[in-house]
């Protein structure tokens, strides 16, 4: 899931100015993160109207990053969108850009910051788990990812700075290398732990590629 958090309202208000605005949320990740689900969109409508902004309408896309679904769903909102000068999107950066493709003549305002691909720990607690590196290596690390979860992305860790099982960079998070050690020990796979990993082949990362078709392999 893409984890996001709301931008500061004052910053958004500054960009929105006094123009009429159409509000867009997302039924998926932004709903689970409480950044752009139905209740956040309705709350935002109230906040904007309390500041005398004209909200021409609102919709929760299903999800905001689905271009074809958006085209279909937004057909019923054409008039409300037409009355707006700005489109305020409470979704991840991916969703915002999908919406932007549909409204070239409108100012698009992002209401959230996308943080990472992560795990839902509790209702409002999320942890980074993946950086979409394009060549998953977790089977070499007891099912855990040192690229996204070690502050130094060490493939041959640990770095030696961990104290009491916590990361030296941020003691709020567990040292993933300590966890990798424990997991592999439990599985009786210390042979994997002692293997030297070669430098990662970043050419497999799709970071700089524009798109793929579902079903593509490396």
| 175 touching ligand SF4, by CB under 6 A | yes
Rounded CA-CA distance 190/109 in Å is: 50
Rounded CA-CA distance 178/174 in Å is: 8
- Binding-site size for ligand SF4 (CB under 6 A) equals 25
| 136 touching ligand SF4, by CB under 6 A | yes
The burial of 11, by beta-carbon neighbours within 10 Å (0-12 exposed, 13-18 middle, 19 or more buried), is given as: exposed
Shortest Å, Cβ 121 to ligand SF4: 17
Strand 2-6 and strand 112-122: the pairing is antiparallel
Q: Which of 42, 168, 189, 206 binds ligand SF4 (CB under 6 A)?
A: 168
* Cis, bond preceding 158 (omega within 30 deg of 0): yes
| 115 touching ligand SF4, by CB under 6 A | no
Tell me how far CA of residue 109 lies from CA of 19, 106, 129, 198, 202, in angstroms: 12, 9, 28, 43, 33
Backbone angles phi, psi at 172, to 5 degrees: -70, -20
Stretch that binds ligand SF4, among 22-30, 66-74, 130-138, 183-191 (CB under 6 A): 130-138
Shortest Å, Cβ 104 to ligand SF4: 33
Q: CB of 36 within 8 A of CB of 26?
A: yes
Q: Which of 167, 180, 181, 184 binds ligand SF4 (CB under 6 A)?
A: 167
Q: Which of 98, 157, 180, 184 binds ligand SF4 (CB under 6 A)?
A: 157
| 96 touching ligand SF4, by CB under 6 A | no
| 155 touching ligand SF4, by CB under 6 A | no
List residues binding ligand SF4 (CB under 6 A): 130-133, 136-138, 145, 147-148, 150-152, 154, 157-159, 161-162, 167-169, 175-177
């Amino acid at each position: 899931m893409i984890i996001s958090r709301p931008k500061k309202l004052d910053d958004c208000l500054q960009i929105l100015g006094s123009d009429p605005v159409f509000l867009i949320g997302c039924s998926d990740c932004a709903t689970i993160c409480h950044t752009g689900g139905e209740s956040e969109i309705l709350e935002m409508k109230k906040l904007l109207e309390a500041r005398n902004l004209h909200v021409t309408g609102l919709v929760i896309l299903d999800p905001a990053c689905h271009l074809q679904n958006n085209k279909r769903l937004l057909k019923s909102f054409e008039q409300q969108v037409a009355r707006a000068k700005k489109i305020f999107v409470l979704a991840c950066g991916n969703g915002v850009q999908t919406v932007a493709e549909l409204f070239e003549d409108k100012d698009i305002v992002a209401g959230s910051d996308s943080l990472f691909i992560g795990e839902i720990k509790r209702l409002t607690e999320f942890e980074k788990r993946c950086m979409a590196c394009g060549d998953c290596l977790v089977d070499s690390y007891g099912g855990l990812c040192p690229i996204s979860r070690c502050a130094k992305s060490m493939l041959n860790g640990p770095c030696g700075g961990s104290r009491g099982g916590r990361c030296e960079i941020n003691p709020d998070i567990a040292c993933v290398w300590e966890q990798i050690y424990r997991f592999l020990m439990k599985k009786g796979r210390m042979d994997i732990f002692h293997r030297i990993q070669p430098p990662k082949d970043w050419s497999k990362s799709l970071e700089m590629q524009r798109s793929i078709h579902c079903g593509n392999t490396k």
